[in-house]
A and B are shown apart, each in its own frame.
Chain A
Amino acid sequence: MRLSIARGELLDSLNVVTKALSSRTTLPILSGILISAVGDSVILQSTDLEISIKHTIGAGVEESGSVVMPGRLLAEVVRSLPEAAVHLETSSFDQVKVTCGTSSFVLRSLSPDDFPKFPEVSPGRKMVIPTATLTSLVRRVSRAVSRDEARPILTGILMVIEGTVLRVVATDSYRLAIAEAELPEPVEERIEVVVPGKALEEIPKLAGGAETVSMGIADNQIIFEFGSSVYVTRRIEGAFPNYRQLVPQDGETKVTVSRADLEGAAKRVSLLAQHNAPLRVKVSDSTLTLSAQTQDVGEASEDLMVATEGEPIEIAFNHAFLVDGLASSDEENLAFVASSPLKPGVFRSTTGEGFTYLIMPVRP
């Protein structure tokens, strides 16, 4: 392998792929970056066996080939170089010479045969999503993702693709968030897959610059492509809770409320919902009252004028979960639906945003 590449581009590319480098010491190959030179480009790949990142950049390839180089060390070396062309050349079976201007380094390399292979995806399971859409979908459900490894399936986000509808669902069993968006093109097969929450939350950060993200579902992995990068994550296995069954279709009480007003009020009243004290929601006539009380500290309440339908109700929630749900949406108005102090309350978008946020009640 012999190639030259602009130092700045190589460094940018290394900064992308070093995100998936493993610190696991049992498999040294995982602390390496697979560098493959083909045609007039260079592909950099890294993996920690949970996520993989591949990044392609243009380069002058004089001799094609591939090699695994120490990731962090290579990044440090390239960072230290002046802004000029960097030459990489395999100098023996386990060494690569890095030269730039008058500097030269010899780094050890490992065999590319041992590097884990990238998955293939069949075309029927591929779709294109505008990056902004994906970003807002993830943002609307990510607070409901569980961080508790005791139930691994809940640390993931369920993605359901049906025709042109992409639905994402997350729940930590105390609340459940659903968000929907329309895809530009329909997908042939109905797809349901659970993606690790942490991995999916990385995509908007990485794909920020690209207009669209292409998503492919392979048997074991989900592949995201954007710009010149590919990001792969393993699926979480197991059955995701049946979210349709959990969400009530209708309720005795229905309120339409300004989301920002309710969020502001909830945050203020929450200040006196300490030590897990509940945040009480009371609906009667055209008033929604939020109140909280912490023993030996004090109490707070705030009234909002709202449009109500149906019966009056008093119900209580965990204040942080309520604020999370309100902060997850961008809607101007949300509908609040509830049936009984013992059944979950639901916030739903009033326009086509496709946002549903369900919270389990607590004892008032």
Chain B
Amino acid sequence: MTHRDVWDGLVGQDKVVSFLRKSSTEGTTTHAYLFVGPPGSGKRSAARALACALLCEDGGCGTCSVCTRIKRGSYPDVRVYEPEGAATYMVEQAREIIHDTNLSPVEGPLKIYILDRAEAFNPAAANALLKTLEEPPDDVVLILLTISWESVLPTIASRCQVVRFAPVSPSTAVALMAERSGVGPDDAMAALAASGGVIPRALDFISSPVRRAARGRLLGVLRDLPVMDGRDVLEAARELLTSVKAPLDEVRVRQEAELRERVEFLGKTAGSLKPIEDRHKRELSAREREGIGELVNVAGSWLRDVAATAAGAPELVANRDAADDIAAAASCIGDRQLARAANAVSEARRRISYNVSPQLAIEAMLFDIQEAITCPRSWE
């Protein structure tokens, strides 16, 4: 019964796994899939697992040369694509994929194309791909990944078999993080709270001292908010923003290393580096948004913790390392105050998504939370 295979790594997606495993063993897979699920729900791993199941001679043993190369991303008949444009797939990318689908496979019996962020297909790139999506050559499987079905162009979504991934429950996520990198439950919960429940991001978070420090600073600010004056709050917001920018240096160091490595390998032909440099720019701005998002997540989880403690359920606290401060806050902040503070957090999220300057959004959030939790307790 303990027969291990390539599906074992997928935790919390039993339905998806049994469906895909069954269709791959029974030979009933279709030519185009759309995997829909929240970040961290395992779409990418499932796509690779399906590729292994279809290409490995033992149906996805997870250990043979085919399986290991698929997992490393170096098997020639499994290609992974992501948008190369500023925010969208380029028509040329779609053409490249179409051209390749019409050639015989390199090694295996099938060609598998994994297209990440399928919501990033604009109508032009999507149009180029429609015919291939609708009736690809027999030996082609296209697997498109997206976080939400609604954000994918209907022309694309309607031509794919949709496979929905469930969000991973917190307890499963904590167990998985312990298994993958030996993280203790307290650290795991705090990291998951900061990263919005996305396991790979939570693991990244734990391995970044600067990002953990930014969280620590915010927890301190939340504790001290009731006794801070306006200047203190502005100063704290400025500091938090600086601390969010600090991890970008870690990203830059890694990017520079990658670029150096590529220059060694590709020679100094500027044209060949452009796509990498573009990707690095996108990565940096995504990372910065993620950092701001982390601050908002931490504030939101701290408020939830206060509410849980006040409601007599301290076992639900995610930020265990700040449990004492949270208990202290819970003893003097009322429900309606907490609700108003939680609104301030949602408002901050909304502002950031509308491209309000992060500095302003964080300042406003801190002032609003301060006002909410220090206003006189109501007479309920």
A27→B264 contact, CB < 8 A: no
Q: Given A28-B265, A114-B69, A116-B76, A220 and B98 touching (CB < 8 A)?
A: no
Chain B nearest Cβ from A90, distance in angstroms: 16
Taken residue by residue from 51 to 80, chain A's Cβ proximity to chain B (1 for < 8 Å, 0 otherwise) reads as: 000000000000000000010110010000
B104→A149 contact, CB < 8 A: no
B106→A70 contact, CB < 8 A: no
Within 8 A of A (CB), among B103-121: 103-107
Contact pick for B267, options A76, A153, A235, CB 8 Å: A76
Q: Which of B106, B264, B271, B276 has the most CB of A within 10 A?
A: B106
A152→B72 contact, CB < 8 A: no
B107→A238 contact, CB < 8 A: no
Residues of chain A within 8 A (CB-CB) of B81 are 26
Interface membership of A50, Cβ < 8 A = yes
Contact pick for B103, options A73, A219, A235, CB 8 Å: A235
Chain A nearest Cβ from B4, distance in angstroms: 22
Taken residue by residue from 74 to 90, chain B's Cβ proximity to chain A (1 for < 8 Å, 0 otherwise) reads as: 10100111000000000
B267→A237 contact, CB < 8 A: no
Q: Given A25-B275, A114-B72, A237-B139, A32 and B102 touching (CB < 8 A)?
A: no
Measured CB to CB, the nearest residue on chain A to B102 is: A152
B264→A25 contact, CB < 8 A: no
A70→B98 contact, CB < 8 A: no
Residues of chain B within 8 A (CB-CB) of A110 are 265
Within 8 A of A (CB), among B159-206: none
Chain B nearest Cβ from A284, distance in angstroms: 46
Q: How far is the CA of A31 from the CA of B276 in the complex (A)?
A: 14
Interface membership of B95, Cβ < 8 A = yes
Residues of chain B within 8 A (CB-CB) of A73 are 264-267
Interface membership of A221, Cβ < 8 A = yes
A237→B103 contact, CB < 8 A: yes
Interface membership of B99, Cβ < 8 A = yes
Q: How far is the CA of A25 from the CA of B84 in the complex (A)?
A: 11
Q: How far is the CA of A332 from the CA of B79 in the complex (A)?
A: 51
Chain B nearest Cβ from A29, distance in angstroms: 6
Chain B nearest Cβ from A73, distance in angstroms: 5
Residues of chain B within 8 A (CB-CB) of A236 are 102-104
A32→B103 contact, CB < 8 A: no
Measured CB to CB, the nearest residue on chain A to B65 is: A113
Q: Given A31-B266, A70-B267, A72-B266, A26 and B103 touching (CB < 8 A)?
A: no
Residues of chain B within 8 A (CB-CB) of A219 are 104
Contact pick for B265, options A108, A152, A237, CB 8 Å: A108
Chain B nearest Cβ from A132, distance in angstroms: 28
Looking at chain A's contact residues, is the secondary structure mostly helix, strand, loop, or mixed? mixed
Q: How far is the CA of A236 from the CA of B139 in the complex (A)?
A: 12
B80→A26 contact, CB < 8 A: yes
Interface membership of B137, Cβ < 8 A = yes
Residues of chain A within 8 A (CB-CB) of B262 are 25, 28
Interface membership of B261, Cβ < 8 A = yes
Q: Given A25-B262, A219-B104, A238 and B137 touching (CB < 8 A)?
A: yes
Residues of chain A within 8 A (CB-CB) of B106 are 49, 116, 220-221, 234
Residues of chain B within 8 A (CB-CB) of A31 are 265-266, 272
Number of interface residues of A (CB under 8 A): 34
Q: How far is the CA of A230 from the CA of B138 in the complex (A)?
A: 29
Interface membership of B269, Cβ < 8 A = yes
A108→B261 contact, CB < 8 A: yes
Interface membership of A117, Cβ < 8 A = yes
Residues of chain A within 8 A (CB-CB) of B95 are 149
Within 8 A of B (CB), among A289-320: none
Chain A nearest Cβ from B140, distance in angstroms: 9
Within 8 A of A (CB), among B258-281: 261-262, 264-267, 269, 271-272, 275-276
Q: How far is the CA of A28 from the CA of B266 in the complex (A)?
A: 8
Q: Which of A219, A234, A235 has the most CB of B within 10 A?
A: A234
Q: How far is the CA of A73 from the CA of B104 in the complex (A)?
A: 31
Chain A nearest Cβ from B44, distance in angstroms: 15
A32→B99 contact, CB < 8 A: no
Interface membership of A107, Cβ < 8 A = yes
Q: How far is the CA of A237 from the CA of B101 in the complex (A)?
A: 9
B103→A117 contact, CB < 8 A: no
Residues of chain B within 8 A (CB-CB) of A119 are 107
Residues of chain A within 8 A (CB-CB) of B261 are 28, 108
A149→B98 contact, CB < 8 A: yes
Measured CB to CB, the nearest residue on chain B to A27 is: B74
Chain A nearest Cβ from B248, distance in angstroms: 22
Interface membership of A196, Cβ < 8 A = yes
Interface membership of A23, Cβ < 8 A = yes
Chain B nearest Cβ from A159, distance in angstroms: 14
Q: How far is the CA of A117 from the CA of B105 in the complex (A)?
A: 12
Within 8 A of A (CB), among B237-271: 261-262, 264-267, 269, 271
B102→A29 contact, CB < 8 A: no
Residues of chain B within 8 A (CB-CB) of A76 are 267
Chain A nearest Cβ from B92, distance in angstroms: 11
Q: Given A114-B69, A237-B104, A70 and B76 touching (CB < 8 A)?
A: no
B264→A108 contact, CB < 8 A: yes
B266→A70 contact, CB < 8 A: yes
Q: Given A23-B272, A25-B275, A114-B69, A196 and B103 touching (CB < 8 A)?
A: yes
Q: How far is the CA of A236 from the CA of B95 in the complex (A)?
A: 15
Measured CB to CB, the nearest residue on chain B to A73 is: B267
Q: Given A25-B275, A114-B69, A114-B72, A107 and B264 touching (CB < 8 A)?
A: yes
- Residue pairs across A and B with Cβ atoms less than 8 A apart, 27 shown, are A23-B266, A25-B266, A25-B272, A28-B261, A28-B262, A29-B74, A49-B100, A49-B106, A50-B103, A70-B264, A70-B265, A72-B266, A72-B267, A73-B264, A108-B264, A110-B265, A114-B69, A114-B74, A117-B107, A119-B107, A196-B103, A220-B107, A221-B106, A234-B105, A234-B106, A236-B104, A237-B137
16 new A-B contacts at CB < 8 Å, known A70-B264, A114-B74, A237-B103: A25-B262, A25-B275, A26-B79, A31-B266, A49-B100, A49-B106, A70-B267, A72-B266, A72-B269, A114-B72, A196-B103, A220-B105, A221-B106, A234-B103, A234-B104, A236-B102
* Chain A interface residues (CB < 8 Å from chain B): 23, 25-29, 31-32, 49-50, 70, 72-73, 76, 107-108, 110, 113-114, 116-117, 119, 149, 152-153, 196, 219-221, 234-238
* Chain B interface residues (CB < 8 Å from chain A): 65, 69, 72-74, 76, 79-81, 95, 98-100, 102-107, 137, 139, 261-262, 264-267, 269, 271-272, 275-276
